[in-house]
Amino acid sequence: MVKDYPANQGSALRSLAAVGAALATAAAVIVGAVLAVFAAATVAVIAVMASALLGFAALAMRARRNVRARRRATDVIEARHLGGHHWVAYGWNERR
């Protein structure tokens, strides 16, 4: 009687290949985990920098609002029309 399947040859090499495949899979998992941690740390750093940027922008807007609110009517200079294209401005060179 003839066998339908040939005998398993190289079973020692096959088991060695299985061990190598397992080691390669473990190495791939470790590299993937390290890359995932690196990506998460990058996102966290970007989030911290973005929140600092928004905080500084909020401080700048608050300072700008306070500067605008402190203007007085005496800060306006006076200009008089002398005729034609001639104007004279007063109060622009006074120091406060």
Q: What one-character DSSP code corresponds to residue 13?
A: H
Mean pLDDT per 10-residue interval, the chain, length 96 residues: 62 83 97 97 97 95 76 69 84 63
Measure the CA–CA gap between 84 and 20, rounded to whole angstroms: 96
Contacts (Cβ under 8 Å, ≥6 apart) of 14? 8
Domain coordinates of the chain in residue numbers?
12-90
What is the per-residue pLDDT for 48? 97
Q: pTM of the predicted model, to two decimals?
A: 0.50
Structure tokens at 22: 């397992």
CB of 90 closer than 8 Å to CB of 78 = yes
